[in-house]
Amino acid sequence: MSFSDKKKKRIKDIAVIIKNSKKMSAEMTSINNEYELELFEVIESVLSLNNPKEESATSSSPSKRPKRNKKPFRSKLFKKGIIPYNDSSIEKSDKIEQYIDKSKMPDWSKDLWRKIMIKCHPDKLIHETELSNADLAERSQIMIEASESIEEEDWDNLIYLAALIDGFTEKLKFNQQVNQLNKINNKNSKTILEIQNSLTWHWGISWSIPIKRLTILKHVLKIKNITIPSDTTLKNIIDNLE
């Protein structure tokens, strides 16, 4: 029996929420990495005032800018006019289904994979004229993530990805699909909450509260066993960040 429109909408709504929470989680992680870098730079400034022995205490701490994920984003395959990006990955993606091991896939995940392939395969997108560049970019990314989900045997993620393009399966009970989607969303929400509660996040968002930044810095120096200079010295270091 096919799902009603209301049930499909329910699945799609949760998928959109997941999409937004996933984006927020990624962006907050990137921002928090910048806050962490800044805090380490402040610590290095403090160390430069102390002796070399204390500086070596944090020599193992990362002092370089956190590296961001430079994994190719398939949206680059589609420029204005839907011109394919000249990259060897296109040749591989043209026959991507040949590289997918379907032997371990549940029937319902195979069903979702087929529906994703129909709407998101590069051969389909390269000739698509009715979709905007943003939609093409999203579908190409869905194809990448779906392929990775299968490789990692993360079948539940296919429910989320397929729903974004109105792909649904009746081979898995509706309640089970909703429960699996909620688990994915809860994971993203947990990541966001952990970032919001982190020391580096509070450091980064406290520009207008100098006393809070001073307190955080002194706390970090204490747990790293670094001699804490006077408040005046620390305030000067913090002020120099601007």
Please write the tens of the pLDDT for every residue from 104-132.
Answer: 899 999 999 999 999 999 988 988 888 99
Of 71, 116, 78, 74, nearest to 97 by C-alpha is 116
**What does the pLDDT profile of the chain (242 residues) look like in tens digits?**
689 999 999 999 999 999 999 999 999 999 999 999 999 999 999 998 876 554 444 444 444 444 544 443 333 333 333 333 334 434 444 455 555 667 789 999 999 999 999 999 998 898 888 899 999 999 999 999 999 999 999 999 999 999 999 999 999 999 999 999 999 999 999 999 999 999 999 999 998 899 999 999 999 999 999 999 999 999 999 988 87
Average pLDDT, the chain: 83
Bridge-partner residues for 84, per DSSP? 78
- Domain boundaries of the chain, sorted by first residue: 5-239
CB 139 within 8 A of CB 120: yes
Which residues sit opposite 78 in a β-bridge? 84
Place of tokens 């800044």: 38
Burial class (CB in 10 A: 0-12, 13-18, 19+), 128: middle
- Cβ–Cβ under 8 Å, residues 32 and 195: yes
Residue type, 90: I
Q: Cβ distance 181 to 160 under 8 Å?
A: yes
pLDDT, one tens digit per residue, over 214-234 is 999 999 999 999 999 999 999
Report CA-CA distances (Å) from 89 to 50, 64, 132, 137, 145: 51, 31, 22, 15, 15
Give the span between the Cα atoms of 40 and 34, in whole angstroms: 10
